[in-house]
Amino acid sequence: MALIAKKIKGTEDILPRDSFKWQFLEKVLSDEARVYGFSEIRTPVFEQTALFQRGVGEGTDVVQKEMYTFETKGGESLTLRPEGTAGAARALLEHGLYNDGLPIKAHYFTTCYRYEKPQAGRQREFHQFGMEVYGASDPIADAELICAASSIFDRLQLPNIRLEINSIGCPECRKNYHAALKEYFSQFTDTLCSTCMSRLEKNPMRILDCKSPICKEIAEGAPKITDFLCEECDNHFKKVQEYLNAAEIEFTVNPSIVRGLDYYTNTVFEFISDSIGAQSTVCGGGRYNGLIEELGGSPLPSLGFAIGLERLLMVIEAEGLEIPAPEKDMLYIAALGDKAQVKAFELVREVRETGLKAQFDIVGRGLKAQMKYANKIGAKFSMVLGDNEIENGKAMLKNMTSGEQTEVSINDAHIFIENLLSADLASEMN
């Protein structure tokens, strides 16, 4: 085969045999969002580049090297969304959603695009589910949001995901902290990686998030942000912890969590799994009190998180949890001859109208091939229609598991469906 095109490096196809896993996840996640009072928001896959440069933060890896940015024929710079928050925040501002009464709670499912080195748990196109809360400054909102993420993992019965939290304070706390970090890391200018050397001036906190083992080791001895929090931020962080304790949500404070994006303030958190290798953060989130203002709106304290769906599926598979397989076809009708085929067509339509899955032969194969297909799709019942059956108005309904056959009338669709349903009921009771 000489294909004229192949899938792009770092992207994955989700095939029909696997899509039920995604649909299952989407159902669990949107159900959880619903009970927490969130409604779905969908925003475009591309946006003006400025949205991400401002929103995501110019000092971040995402903006500096991971964005898919291109110029349109009209000379405008556009970018494929690298994350979901900035687009949702833009939509909130553009449509004045904050006038609808606060807080606004929105969730999203998006594909994201980042030019990264593809590896297990890291793709160039990947999927995120996110929850965003706008217009809530109280620490109880942080706790509620973390609780929502936590209950998603509970709902999926994933006990081995741990929660780590931190506070990265407000811009005031960070001014002092940045100075202390610069002083500390300046001792290691010979050993820090080149990326971290450039971070040293612009955004030394990002060094704490470096994936290089050498930088990681150096970062271990760095001053801790929690020692630099102003009174207000310190209180906020303490309250969040109190509320989490009250909700019996286990967590550890990890002062080196800074998150990959620049817009965070105060609370940041990650849910981490040890069963999926190096890309172990399944969910990342936090508070971003400055983002809305940075995008041109009036200040609106907000917070949110995003779950990487590929990583979430990896955890589910690594933990050996079964995602319920799609329901089987109730009926496959094999038909031989024109009349039988038309009759099969009519009957499957009647069955489908009741909401049950039914199929018949649409490729004109012989009986043997049709039955093979019925087996392959795992039909619960099969039925063969030929000239005899059409003439007598009767056919044999075969239970594909037990082999048991029942004679059913095929002239009256209502009676046929009643027969089919009672055969199904009988097989379930056996």
Residues that bind ligand ATP in the complex, under the rule CB under 6 A: 83, 114, 116, 121-123, 126, 128, 259-261, 279, 281-284, 306, 308, 310-311
With the C-alpha atoms ordered 27, 30, 33, 35, is the resulting torsion angle positive or negative?
negative
Least distance from ligand ATP to the Cβ atom of residue 281, Å: 4
Question: Looking at beta carbons only, is 116 or 346 nearer to ligand ATP?
Answer: 116
Residue count (the chain): 430
Strands (E), 216-357: 252-253, 265-273, 281-287, 302-308, 331-335
**Span 252-271, contacts to Mg ion by CB under 5 A:** 260
Output phi, psi for 92, to 5 deg. Answer: -55, -45
| Residue 236 contact among ligand ATP, Mg ion, none, beta carbon within 5 to 8 Å by kind | none
Question: Looking at beta carbons only, is 156 or 358 nearer to ligand ATP?
Answer: 156
State how far the Cα of 31 lies from the Cα of 131, in Å rounded to an integer: 12
For every residue of 348-390, DSSP letters joined together read HHHHHHTT--EEE-SS---HHHHHHHHHHTT-SEEEEE-HHHH
Least distance from ligand ATP to the Cβ atom of residue 261, Å: 6
| Residue 279 contact among ligand ATP, Mg ion, none, beta carbon within 5 to 8 Å by kind | ligand ATP
The yes or no reply on residue 286 touching Mg ion (CB under 5 A) is: no
Question: Looking at beta carbons only, is 219 or 423 nearer to Mg ion?
Answer: 219
Output phi, psi for 219, to 5 deg. Answer: -65, -25
Least distance from Mg ion to the Cβ atom of residue 260, Å: 4
Burial class of residue 317, CB neighbours in 10 A (0-12, 13-18, 19+): middle
| Residue 284 contact among Mg ion, ligand ATP, none, beta carbon within 5 to 8 Å by kind | ligand ATP
Sheet with 394-399: list strands edge to edge: 358-360, 331-335, 381-385, 394-399, 405-409
Question: Looking at beta carbons only, is 281 or 341 nearer to ligand ATP?
Answer: 281
Instruction: Tell me the residue nearest to ligand ATP as measured from the CB.
Output: 308
Instruction: Tell me the residue nearest to Mg ion as measured from the CB.
Output: 260
Least distance from ligand ATP to the Cβ atom of residue 94, Å: 23
Least distance from Mg ion to the Cβ atom of residue 281, Å: 9
Least distance from Mg ion to the Cβ atom of residue 279, Å: 9
Question: Looking at beta carbons only, is 236 or 259 nearer to ligand ATP?
Answer: 259
- Which residues contact Mg ion by CB under 5 A? 260
